[in-house]
Amino acid sequence: ARIVVLVSGSGTNLQALLDAIAAEGVSAYGAKVVAVGADRDGIAGLERAERAGLPTFVCRVKDHADRAAWDRALTEATAAHQPDLVVSAGFMKILGAEFLARYGDRIVNTHPALLPSFPGAHGVRDALAYGAKVTGCTVHFVDDGVDTGPVIAQGAVEIRDEDDESALHERIKEVERKLLVEVVGRLARHGYRIEGRKVLIP
Ligand code: GRF
C-alpha cells in the first residue's frame, strides 16, 4: 500500500512508521510512505521526511482564499502521490469535505485520548483536568466529525498524580507510536471492512 502521511508538528509518529518500514522492509510491512504533507512549514515532521528522502508538500490555509480552496489544494497535493491510505499523524487541521469525499474510509488518525472521551485539540490536557485515572490513545478512521470516526485500536495509559500535560503526553506517545505502526501495517497487509462503527480486519 502507498501511504501519504500528514503532519503538523514533531513527527515522531511519522518517524516510527519510517523506522518500522526500514527495519522490516516494505514488502514484509505491507506499506511504504510515498510522501509527507503538512499545513505549515518549518516543522520537525517535514525535516524527518526530507531526511528520509521523501517528497513533501505544504498546504497552508492562509495561502488560500478560503477553507474550501485549501481543502481542494490539499486533496490535489495528496492525490498527486496516489495513496491507498492517508495517515493523519498529529495533523492539527480538520480535513475538508472534498478530502473526505476522495479518501473517505481510507484516512487513519491517531488521537491522544481514549475516544469518545476527550476529543479535540487538547485530549491530554482535558483528561488531566477532568481527573481521569486512565487515558490513552485511539487510532481511528476519520469521518466528518471531530475525532468521531470508527475506532480501529486503542491503548491505555495510567495517569499519575505527579503528571503534567507534557509528561503524560510523552507516555501516551510511546504507546501511540507502537499502536499506529501496528495498525497501519495490519490494515495494509490484510485489508479491512467497515461495518457501521465496527472495523473488521480479516
Ligand atoms: C500525537 O500525540 C497526536 O495524537 C497528537 O499530536 C501528537 C503528534 O506527535 N494529536 P508527533 O508529531 O507525531 O510527534
**Structure confidence by residue, pLDDT tens digits, 7-57:** 999 999 999 999 999 999 999 999 999 999 999 999 999 999 999 999 999
Q: Which of 130, 149, 128 is nearest to 140 (CA)?
A: 149
**What is the Å distance from ligand 1's center to 69 Cα?**
26
What is the tens place of the pLDDT at every residue in 78-111?
999 999 999 999 999 999 999 999 999 999 999 9
**Spatial separation of the C-alpha atoms in residues 31 and 200, rounded to whole Å:** 19
92 labelled binding-site residue: yes
Residue in 5, 13, 126, 175 to alter for ligand 1 test, most ligand atoms within 8 A of Cβ: 13
What is the tens place of the pLDDT at every residue in 156-187?
999 999 999 999 999 999 999 999 999 999 99
- Structural domain total, the chain: 1
Ligand 1, atom 8: nearest CA belongs to which residue? 90
Q: Which of 126, 87, 85 is nearest to 110 (CA)?
A: 87
**Spatial separation of the C-alpha atoms in residues 161 and 78, rounded to whole Å:** 42
Up-side HSE of residue 124: CA atoms within 13 Å toward CB? 18
Tell me which residue range forms the domain holding 14.
2-200
pTM (predicted TM-score): 0.97
Other C-beta atoms closer than 10 Å to the C-beta of 6 total 27
Q: Can you say whether the dihedral through the CA atoms of 21, 26, 29, 35 is positive or negative?
A: positive
**What is the Å distance from ligand 1's center to 90 Cα?**
4
CATH number for the domain spanning 164: value is 3.40.50.170
Other C-beta atoms closer than 10 Å to the C-beta of 64 total 15
Asked if 49 and 14 count as a contact pair (C-beta separation under 8 A), the reply is yes
72 labelled binding-site residue: no
13 labelled binding-site residue: yes
Q: Show the cell assigned to 62.
A: 492562509
**Spatial separation of the C-alpha atoms in residues 202 and 195, rounded to whole Å:** 13
**Spatial separation of the C-alpha atoms in residues 186 and 202, rounded to whole Å:** 9
